[in-house]
Amino acid sequence: MEQTLIILKPDVVQRGLMGEIIRRIEQRGLRISGMKMQWISRELAERHYGEHQGKSFYEPLLAFITSAPVVVMLVEGPQAIAVMRAMMGKTNSSVAAPGTIRGDYGLSNRHNLIHGSDSPESATREIALFFKPEEIFSYQRVTEPWTDPDAAW
């Protein structure tokens, strides 16, 4: 079972899209094993986006991600990283495909609605930044054998 960190960014919270995006994740068959709303501090944002330090978009990115509350989720499932990134769509929302989260709800490159880990290594690092072990819940949904391609019958 692969894990990924998902952040519903301030524009999702401000526009009232949290429920719709959570619904999409659950209906796809992925499991939310941790979820909380928080206001990301500048310090946490700097640690999370550290690889972008020095780039032209770094300061605007930090200003945006700290501008309002976000919803942080640990999402699990078969190939959760690839599945979530496909659901998210291209980073530049104005060219993201219809049917993706960014393609359906976004118009901006900077205010692009959602963050998802891009690799298992990033997911491990990012999950540890946002979740304590006691905030992660291990459980199995009764629908999982119907959505897991490796489920044994």
Query: What angle do helix axes 80-88 and 18-28 make, rounded to 10 degrees?
Result: 140
Kind and range of the H or E element at 102?
Answer: helix 101-105
Whether residue 115 lies in the annotated active site: yes
Q: In whole angstroms, what is the distance from residue 114 CA to residue 8 CA?
A: 5
Q: Which of 48, 52, 111, 115 is an active site residue?
A: 115
Distance, in Å, from the CA atom of 33 to the CA atom of 137, rounded to the nearest integer, reads 5
Element (H, E) at 74: strand 70-77
Spatial distance between the Cα atoms of 78 and 20, rounded to a whole number of angstroms: 22
Residue numbers annotated as active site: 115
